[in-house]
Structure 1
Amino acid sequence: LQRFKEGKVYMPEQAQEALRNFFRKGNLIALRELALRRTAERVDAQMRVYMREHAIGKVWPAAERLLVCVSPTPDSARLVRAAKRMAEGLGAPWITAYVETPAQLRLPQGARNTVIQTLRLAEQLGAETVTLPGQKMSEALLAFARDRNVTKLVVGKPRRRLWQRILLGSIVDALVQGSGDIDIYVISGEREDAAPAAPDRRRERAIDWPSYGWAIALVALTTGAAWLMFPFFELADLIMMYLLGIVVVAMRHGRGPSLLASVLSVAALDFFFVPPYFTFAVSDARHLFTFAVMLVVGFVISSLTVRIQAQAAAARSREARTAALYAMSRELASTLGVDELLTVALRHVSEVFKSQVVVLLPGPDRSLTAWSGGQFQLDASELGVARWVYEHRQPAGLGTATLPGASALHLPLIAPRGPVGVLGVRPADRHALDAPEQLHQLETFANQTALAIERARLADEASDAQIRMETERLRNSLLSSVSHDLRTPLATITGAVSTILENGSRLDDRTRQELLESVRDEGERLNRLVQNLLEMTRLESGALQLRKEWHSLEEVIGAALSRVGKRLANRRVTTRVPPSLPLVPMDDVLVEQVLVNILDNALKYTPPGSPIEIIATATDRAATVEVADRGPGLPHGEEDKVFEKFYRGRSDGERGAGLGLAICQGVVRAHGGRIWAQNLPGGGVAFLFTLPITDAQPTVDG
């Protein structure tokens, strides 16, 4: 502000205006805070990269960062709010993490809904949310905390009693023992007014009686096999047979049937293979220890097998979600245009979530309108839900706490520059999106769609900006070329006419004739320039209409030579047109203009008196015209550039506006032919163009 007052930034009157409108003290403080925050984020990111590159496992407390761990209990919402207040007090970013252990995979639907609601609450409060897979919750949390350089870890108070913590352990104790430099905060959060919701018990798991039947049958089958082996094998070998049966039951039918198979296997071993036979009595007390070990091993094997299967199922589910997201992202990345992107996004969302999908996009007045490719119609109430979602940037509708009576779930499409629309999803099963992973995946799809829409719009804006820049460049080039080419002949005409008017009586006839001829020549030059500008305008606007008729190339070439005849007075022009050359369908006026422009180009860029040659040939499919000169030729690599608008080569004499050859290219392409330039071996350049002959030659009836 002092520099402003001293006039070191703006002029005094401008400085006062800037101080009143923008550079106020509050604005400058806010800008300084934003700059410091951005600097801190960049330094923190660089530090974490350095730690990973040098395998530094401990935490460097360069800046505060909080990590709060949530669980399926209703108290997790209070824990999240308490962590939010703690993060605000420290001015630190915070992360909310949920660890998905094998035990967590078996939670009922109500508990899983609690988790997703808690994570959603954390996102609304500004936290970054993550779901961590792992065997032990404490190990997964500490590994993630060290990777993200977390300085404070917040957990809830343990619910187990003291004797349970001693026997079974506690996550708080495990975190404290392995935390190292990380501070552990154990809090309960403030009590909420509303009582926690009761767990959802609508879907009790039914007993799978057939699986238990298969477990009994498999134990019986194993007993039969062991009975055949009994005379030839030891008791330990028979125990291995029963353990193998327990593994098979655990793999095929789950925990309960495998536990039953363990108990039945011990009982069958005792009844059939331990003396006294066919009774449960045991003569040797050591067999009791064998039975106990066998039962424990059976329980452990069944538990481990079921856990591995649950982990494999979770891994397959994650793989399927990742593959679906990758397929959609890959297709979005290779698609251009908002309509095409929305078609791709709706197809993927509809296929993955078995739903009908609609997208609403904002108009110029920010009112939402349904995209034409949607899969269902929205009534007035659904449109109201979508408008609320767009304005508040939060999900609403089916399965949420906001307007749950809606028939569809509405998600905001939020891009870096703000909301770009609303995604509406109406699943065939109203409970299809109850699973937390399903909802998270849908939100990820929505985010990818929003980013794709933003990318397409930015591409359109960049294209428009490029077009405006190109238009401005062409306009400047046109003004520069035309102003020069208009000013030169106008100055000549003005000077000649002024001389005749002022000194007409004192001029001899020869001088007067030369002045009048210069006026005529410069007038013709102006006429050619204006005609070229008009032709280019017609070509670019698409207003050029061909009037094709069958004409003789010899006559068109003769007409072009007549138009530039006076300028060719000191040139030797050779034409080679075979008498058998067929008629060609063309617009003779425009093709004549092509020849005139090529000849005019040769006159400008070749030495005076150098020869010009015109050759015409034809095949069954096309006629080719070649105009060759013996000038300096074209620089290497510029054979195609000469046909660009406003391109002009080096010339010591008269220069044009750089439109003649561009017009030639437009006319020839309009006829369906091609035009090109090539340097000649002996010096000079040849311009060739073709005119297609697509129809049969006309006949003259006698």
Structure 2
Amino acid sequence: MNDQRPDPDALLEAVRGNAEHSKRGQLKIFFGACAGVGKTFAMLQAARQAQAEGVRVGIGIVETHGRKETEALIDGFAILPRKTLPGNGRPVTEFDLDGALASDYKLLVVDELAHTNVAGSRHAKRWQDVEELLDAGVDVYTALNVQHLDSLNDIVGGIIGIRVRETVPDRIFDSATDVVLVDLPPDDLLARMNAGKVYLPVSIERARQNFFRRGNLIALRELALRRVADRVNADVRTYRVSHAIKTVWPTQELLMVCVSADRSQEKLVREAGRLAQRLQAKWIVVHVDQPYQNNDARSREALLAIAKTARSAGAEFANVPGQDITEAILDYARKRNATKLIIGNTARRRIFTFKRRLQERLARANPEIGLLLLSVDEVRANRRVRWIPEEPQTQIAALGIATLACGAATFLASQLVGFFDLSNVVMLFLVTTVFIALRLGRLAGAWASLLSVGCFDFFFVEPKLSFAVTDTQYIFTFALMLVVAVVISQLAARLRSEARVARAGERRASALARIARDLSSAIKIDQVVAICREALTPLFEARIILLVPDKNERLMPTEDPGLVDTSTAQWAFDHGQQAGLGTQTLSAAHALYLPLKASMAMRGVLAVVPVGAPLPDDPDDRRLLDACCSTIGLTLERIHFMEVAQETLVRMEGEKLRNALLSAVSHDLKTPLTAIRGLAETLEHRKELAVEDRSDLARSIRVQADELKRLVANLLDLARMQSEGVRLNKEWNSLSEIVGSAVLQSRAILEPRKVRTNLPADLPLIEADATLIERVLINLFDNAAKYTPRDSTINVRAGATADTMYLIVEDNGPGLPVRDPETLFEPFARGQKESSVAGVGLGLALCRSIITAHGGTIRAEQRKPNGAAFEIRLPLGTPPAIESEPIHDQAAHSDR
């Protein structure tokens, strides 16, 4: 009786999928073989039906191509305005994604899913716009031709002779809620085109001679029908899994070939491939990996050869774990919805048949799946007895150790036989047999079983030192002892084999987990290269080299370019297939090249260069290598998108800076220019002004011009410093001279305010660019003049420690208007966003740039009870030796 309960894992996955599906919008694709079959017409009719049912429907974008029927169907729909973007010489209208997201439409019609957006759009492709709409919960109707599917792009190009550049990833097609096939026979489609219902009359003849040939249309129609059939078949499998349906639904022919680890099975695979080709059916090759089966080198090589033959013939190969081979085969067949099972039929007959043959068990367990038997009795030489050792030297040593262990057990038993009954002594031989089987394998365990029985009979059973037996009961004891010993040794060897397989699986799992953990924190390609080299090199005993594409999609090795063949790697990258050593493509290469596939594109190639040992042939190791490649590909894609996001952020910050500059400068440039213009007009039109009045007006013009000059100079200097860096012309200077020169130059700005300096006479010389330090002080004086009353006093004081000189400029004005004074040193930062005080917030930013270039610091702090203080600290050096001169002892306190 079949268990009809759903698989808990599958049920949980379905619940998660439904939860995610309920949050996203639903995508409905109207799919056709080519243009003109009626996709847009069917899409608009479906949208009109949805509108009639009360759904708010909007037309995001629909290309009518001049078809009157399509234009008529658009009438009655709300049409979203398009966005105009600059194109090649003329403006181009595009789908307005932001407008669509801001609208309240439940359903949007977005035609031509494969369309490439104009440069400047948010996304490069329209299908990316559709994904964002779906994420926002908006349902979308769209149209797609078969030649735009990414997986069929090469096939279509080979048929029509034209490579289609605009493609859509297959995951978009497969994840659609519904796909509607819009089909039209080729003759009817040609008739529609000749009637002018597909293209404009000027394009009909060219289309008929190129794309719209009847043979092309037939081939494209078949591709479209098959692709939709594949999708429907996937829906059937999903439904069967979610509803725990165990019975097979023969909706599509699928052959499942069951093989064992024997070279004779290659004939079975080839025969099954020819049968699948005649039936035009898909087929898979399955091997059941039982934990107790023999896993010697011969079996692994045979299984690898079978897998290689299957894949080269176009089949999928699966290694299915299972205890019972019949149950494992049937479970996997039901899971894949296989319609026929193919197994090999041998002519050998066993002398003792303890259980039914595999085909009988399969037929009895599930009669609903067809069973085909193919003769495979071709290769007999490789069918060896399972006891044949895979490494003779190692097994000979194991047999020797087993012999010595039995001898030691015999000696120990001879010492104990006087104290224990023979039934207890037998246990010593059994323990020895179990130990040998666990440590040395099946063959050594079987030999120990025979040797233990012989030693027990020869040395402990009357007559001793003879294999003759006087008591017939011992014959039964010997037989039972031999059977128990062999069974125990087999079970122990099976346990050892299972432990070995478990350790290998754990090694692979931990290696993959470690690589995934390390790659998750990588933010640069160099880090990915180092992680791959450190993790994979010892794992596969090979050199691991990463090749990443440049801007032109040409691969560049990250290290050791002499070890890789870039042409083979480029082929693997362009075609998304393995190439090189051990493959069927460019197999003469000295390395294996594995493409690094990610969700969006190919991200590079991993080159595996053997060092001493050959490439890993074990299927599990190859699967581990493939999993590592997938993880590396996703990591490279994440780094790529991080770089894209960083570039976008830089552009956004640049745009923000430009806007801030325009916003700030527009007012402060306009104010002095307006004042200068007004004053100049006064001088021009009022001829009767006195000489003193004219002098005052001229002085005012000069003040405004100086203000404008300082503004422009700050802008130019800050831009130059940020792009080229600060160029210093350091010399040994006296700080008092620098301060005095700055105060003198700022006299017009500071009037009528007072400046009080407090500079000790013994201040050491400072190595600095005097001109730039003066510029810092002038900006600080200008800042103080703007924000303090006219009767204020500005204090300048300085001092020195062992390795630092400090200079403080403080005032008694209103103080700092911001909580975090550090923000005042950012470009275009002002204490008050909107105020009557002129300035764009560049002076303090320029001060910090200059002081930082000198290796110093500048900070602002609130002065108590009121006012602001700016402290500059500059490093002190050792000035050059100069001849001593008399120093006039004078106070350095003065009022200006």
The TM-score with structure 2 as length reference comes to 0.66
1:99 partnered with 2:289: yes
Cα distance change, pair 94–415 in 1 and its aligned pair in 2 (3 A): farther
Cα distance change, pair 496–472 in 1 and its aligned pair in 2 (3 A): same
Give the conservation status (yes or no) of the 8 Å contact 2:816–2:862: yes
Give the conservation status (yes or no) of the 8 Å contact 2:290–2:324: no
> 2:358 & 2:491 partners in 1: Cα distance?
21
Cα distance change, pair 433–560 in 1 and its aligned pair in 2 (3 A): same
Q: Which residue of 2 aligns with 1:316?
A: 503
Q: Which residue of 2 aligns with 1:236?
A: 423
Give the conservation status (yes or no) of the 8 Å contact 1:342–1:449: no
Residue in structure 2 matching 1:424, options 594, 607, 623? 607
> 2:528 & 2:781 partners in 1: Cα distance?
51
Give the conservation status (yes or no) of the 8 Å contact 1:67–1:97: no
Q: Which residue of 2 aligns with 1:37?
A: 174
For 2:703, the aligned partner's letter is D
1:564 partnered with 2:751: no
The 5 A counterparts of 1:155-234 are 155-157=341-343, 159=345, 167-168=354-355, 185-186=369-370, 188=372, 205-206=391-392, 208-234=395-421
For 2:501, the aligned partner's letter is A
Cα distance change, pair 375–568 in 1 and its aligned pair in 2 (3 A): closer
1:242 deviates by 0.6
Give the conservation status (yes or no) of the 8 Å contact 1:634–1:679: yes
Q: SS state of the match for residue 649, structure 1?
A: coil
Residue in structure 1 matching 2:761, options 570, 579, 587? 579
> 1:81 & 1:490 partners in 2: Cα distance?
89
Q: Which residue of 2 aligns with 1:439?
A: 622
Q: Which residue of 2 aligns with 1:9?
A: 79
Q: Which residue of 1 aligns with 2:788?
A: 606
Q: SS state of the match for residue 597, structure 2?
A: strand
The 5 A counterparts of 1:435-584 are 435-501=618-684, 503-509=685-691, 511-584=693-766
1:386 partnered with 2:577: no
Give the conservation status (yes or no) of the 8 Å contact 1:361–1:369: yes
1:470 deviates by 1.4
1:79 deviates by 6.3
Moved more, 524-533 or 71-80: 71-80
Give the conservation status (yes or no) of the 8 Å contact 2:258–2:343: no
1:667 partnered with 2:853: no
> 1:614 & 1:387 partners in 2: Cα distance?
68
1:254 deviates by 1.6
Cα distance change, pair 366–480 in 1 and its aligned pair in 2 (3 A): same
1:397 partnered with 2:580: yes
> 2:797 & 2:330 partners in 1: Cα distance?
85
Give the conservation status (yes or no) of the 8 Å contact 1:496–1:515: yes
Deviations 1:473-529 (A, max 9, x none): 11221122222211111111112112221x221434454344323311211111111
1:374 partnered with 2:560: yes
Cα distance change, pair 96–495 in 1 and its aligned pair in 2 (3 A): farther
| Aligned-residue CA RMSD (Å) | 4.6
For 2:664, the aligned partner's letter is S
Cα distance change, pair 554–429 in 1 and its aligned pair in 2 (3 A): closer
Q: Which residue of 2 aligns with 1:592?
A: 774
> 2:663 & 2:413 partners in 1: Cα distance?
103
1:468 deviates by 1.5
Moved more, 249-258 or 320-329: 320-329
Give the conservation status (yes or no) of the 8 Å contact 2:255–2:281: no
For 1:9, the aligned partner's letter is I
For 1:490, the aligned partner's letter is L
Cα distance change, pair 665–486 in 1 and its aligned pair in 2 (3 A): same
Aligned length: 679
Residue in structure 2 matching 1:345, options 509, 517, 532? 532
> 1:510 & 1:172 partners in 2: Cα distance?
121
1:248 deviates by 2.2
For 1:666, the aligned partner's letter is S
For 1:541, the aligned partner's letter is S
Q: Which residue of 2 aligns with 1:645?
A: 827
Residue in structure 1 matching 2:467, options 280, 283, 286? 280
Residue in structure 1 matching 2:433, options 232, 243, 246? 246
Moved more, 301-310 or 648-657: 648-657
1:233 deviates by 0.8
1:331 deviates by 3.6
Cα distance change, pair 394–196 in 1 and its aligned pair in 2 (3 A): farther
> 2:363 & 2:735 partners in 1: Cα distance?
96
Give the conservation status (yes or no) of the 8 Å contact 2:462–2:470: yes
1:357 deviates by 4.1
Cα distance change, pair 137–231 in 1 and its aligned pair in 2 (3 A): same
Give the conservation status (yes or no) of the 8 Å contact 1:362–1:420: yes
Q: SS state of the match for residue 595, structure 1?
A: helix
1:112 partnered with 2:303: yes
Q: SS state of the match for residue 497, structure 1?
A: helix
For 1:264, the aligned partner's letter is L
Give the conservation status (yes or no) of the 8 Å contact 1:100–1:131: no
> 1:305 & 1:539 partners in 2: Cα distance?
78
Cα distance change, pair 95–608 in 1 and its aligned pair in 2 (3 A): farther
> 1:397 & 1:588 partners in 2: Cα distance?
66
Give the conservation status (yes or no) of the 8 Å contact 1:677–1:685: yes
Q: SS state of the match for residue 814, structure 2?
A: coil
The unaligned stretches of length 5 or more in structure 1 are none
Deviations 1:374-406 (A, max 9, x none): 27445xxx4443333233222222222333333
For 1:308, the aligned partner's letter is L
Deviations 1:573-611 (A, max 9, x none): 332212222221111111111111122222223344333
Cα distance change, pair 495–139 in 1 and its aligned pair in 2 (3 A): farther
> 1:287 & 1:171 partners in 2: Cα distance?
39
The unaligned stretches of length 5 or more in structure 2 are 1-39, 45-58, 63-70, 83-91, 96-109, 116-125, 127-141, 150-167, 179-233, 886-896
For 2:560, the aligned partner's letter is G
Q: SS state of the match for residue 686, structure 1?
A: strand
Q: Which residue of 1 aligns with 2:223?
A: none
Q: Which residue of 2 aligns with 1:626?
A: 808
Name the % identity.
Answer: 31
Q: Which residue of 2 aligns with 1:414?
A: 597
Cα distance change, pair 307–200 in 1 and its aligned pair in 2 (3 A): closer
> 1:88 & 1:678 partners in 2: Cα distance?
81
1:343 deviates by 3.9
Higher helix share: 1
1:415 deviates by 2.6
Moved more, 416-425 or 135-144: 135-144
1:163 deviates by 8.7
1:546 deviates by 0.8
The TM-score with structure 1 as length reference comes to 0.82
Give the conservation status (yes or no) of the 8 Å contact 1:338–1:457: no
Residue in structure 1 matching 2:489, options 292, 302, 318? 302
Deviations 1:445-478 (A, max 9, x none): 3333333333333222222222122112112211
Cα distance change, pair 676–187 in 1 and its aligned pair in 2 (3 A): farther
